Amino acid sequence: MSDKVYLGRNMAQLDTSPALDSVSKVVLLVDDENAYTAGNDTGRTVELKCPYGTQAMANSILASLRACAYTPLQAQDALLDPAAELGDGLTAGGVYTVLGQMDLEWDALMASDSGAPGQAEQESEYQYRSPVIAELNYQIAETRSTITKTAEEIRLEVENELEGLSSSFTVQLDSIKAEVQGLDGQISTIEQYVDSITLTVSNGDTYSSIQLKAGSAVISSQTIYMNGLVTFTGLADGTTTINGGCIKTGLIDAERLNLTGAITFGDLSSSVQNDINDAYSMAQDAQTTASDAADIVGGWTYRGTTYIDGTRIMTGTVSASTLEGGEILLLDSRGNEAGTFTLDGSSSTSGQKVLLTSNAIELNAVNGDIYLGLYSGQAGYLHLSDNVITVGRSDLQPNTDNRYSCGTSGQRWAEVYAASSTIVTSDRNLKNSITYDMTKYDAFFDRLRPTPYKYNDGTSGRTHLGLISQDVEEALAEAGLTDMDFAGFVKGRNADGDYTYSLRYEEFIALLIYKIQRQDARIKELEESL
């Protein structure tokens, strides 16, 4: 079977018509009275017969036909592929359609009159039904009912597949069940057995149920609302009544009662009531006193009051020649601990140390410098003055090898002074992919453009000689290289999202040595030839 047939101009005559409207509606005929529909009446309607049809099937067929355009055409004396079959795709004279007609002439040429029939020819193939009759039949398919009877069960069911609704009533020997299903998993059921009745309403994982038995009733739900007067009778000891403002019962037994507002002891004697009221007043006074004491003890700002007990002295200001202790607590304005000075008997070296612990530490010297040193200046120290940070008697180094950078693309040092040149790691044991082949950099080197320039933010106004990083990037691209082939080009993203272009000039030294060696060898070769 061939899926597509190409005819081209292999025909005596070609007649075409304008493309018909696209398919906007599909009618799936299940039987003489039932059908499923999909789409609307804005375009053409396709009717199909399928005794096993469903609404999902009608939707799927419509989705497949929406993109198809039907163009009628007629090819006279066409030299068609003998393998062509009705239903194949047909291309004739630049028009693509379906092969819906084929009249084959059984002679030497095997010519045929083929093509896709027009509107009149299609309508003659289908029986006409009035719109009124069709609408009635479709409505019958929307809602259907069934009654089934077996030796063990009688079942009544009504469903509407289009709307996703159904209800059923099932009678068995030992039970009766009624069920209603809706969209999105909504189900309500009533189940009756000889010893119980259960009512359930569910929506996915959420449900409520009432179960009645001869001696018990169980109500289950996330929330239970009771409106009106609620009375419990037949309890072990009398009757309990609950309404919106009162609980009336015989005895309340609880581990804890939280009583607020007015409390009335109508059945107690006057002396007992007075004792309770006096105790209540004393409790209130005690609570007030304790609260005031907590306010005094909990804070650290004291105005004109000094508090002394067996564990602490609290006052406004302490002035002394000497304060002794192992720990100093630093409190904020609310009395919360913000930092500590602690004397610790252990150290990373030897002897004792003072630990300053806090979430953040800021040192401010208003009219002087900040000096951090070891052993009275005999070892390393850090000196912070107005414009200079000085490191003395020690080397400045990172705590981990080959991890941190000195500055970034957006936070650069203006100038770096050194007594000797920068030392860069060049150990063979720390490198790989060594080839000594520099030939692919010839074109890149020839495209480098040295230039004099001045800095926009420079202060001396002096002229510098060097390269422009963007020019180096263009030279790499023109030579068929990337930044992975040459680490001398650096393009770093700043904090604001922009890029800063930089160069590692030491990476160009190898290029210069390579080029000079090439030129020196060439000079020697020319001298020998002379």
The pLDDT tens digits for 63-77 are 888 877 778 888 888
- Looking at the predicted structure, is the pLDDT value of residue 127 above 50? no
Task: Say if residue 111 is exposed, middle or buried (CB neighbours under 10 Å; 0-12, 13-18, 19+).
Answer: buried
pLDDT for position 378: 63
Nearest to 209 by CA among 193, 190, 196: 190
Please check whether residue 517 is in contact with residue 496, taking contact to mean a CB–CB distance below 8 angstroms.
Answer: no
pLDDT for position 488: 94
Extract the tokens encoding 77: 């004396």
CA torsion 414-418-421-424 (nearest 10°) is: -70
Banded pLDDT at 128 (limits 50, 70, 90): very low
Cα separation, 14 vs 81, whole angstroms:
17
- Looking at the predicted structure, is the pLDDT value of residue 490 above 60? yes
pLDDT for position 352: 62
User: Taking all residues of the chain, what is their mean pLDDT, rounded to a whole number?
Assistant: 80
Extract the tokens encoding 104: 């084959």
* DSSP type of residue 479: T
The pLDDT tens digits for 495-511 are 888 899 999 999 999 99
Cα separation, 441 vs 415, whole angstroms:
31
Over residues 387-397, the mean pLDDT reads: 81
> Is the pTM value of this prediction over 0.85?
no
Please check whether residue 405 is in contact with residue 413, taking contact to mean a CB–CB distance below 8 angstroms.
Answer: no
Upper half-sphere CA count for residue 346 (Cβ side, 13 Å): 1
Length of the chain: 530
Task: Say if residue 282 is exposed, middle or buried (CB neighbours under 10 Å; 0-12, 13-18, 19+).
Answer: exposed
Nearest to 186 by CA among 206, 212, 158: 206
Phi, psi of 248 (to 5 degrees): -115, 120
pLDDT for position 510: 94
Contacts of residue 346, Cβ cutoff 8 Å, sequence gap at least 6? 353
CATH of span 428-525: 1.10.10.10
pLDDT for position 467: 96
Q: Under DSSP, is residue 186 helix (H, G, I), strand (E, B) or coil?
A: strand
Question: Higher-confidence residue: 91 or 171?
Answer: 171
Structural domain boundaries in the chain: 4-138, 145-220, 428-525
Cα separation, 55 vs 162, whole angstroms:
7
CA angle 396, 399, 402 (to 5 degrees): 95
Q: Rounded to whole angstroms, what are the CA distances from 296 to 22, 290, 292, 317, 338?
A: 86, 10, 6, 15, 19
Over residues 457-482, the mean pLDDT reads: 94
- Looking at the predicted structure, is the pLDDT value of residue 80 above 90? no
Cα separation, 19 vs 69, whole angstroms:
7
Phi, psi of 284 (to 5 degrees): -65, -45
Q: Under DSSP, is residue 28 helix (H, G, I), strand (E, B) or coil?
A: strand
pLDDT for position 327: 79
Helix (H), strand (E) at residue 217: strand 217-220
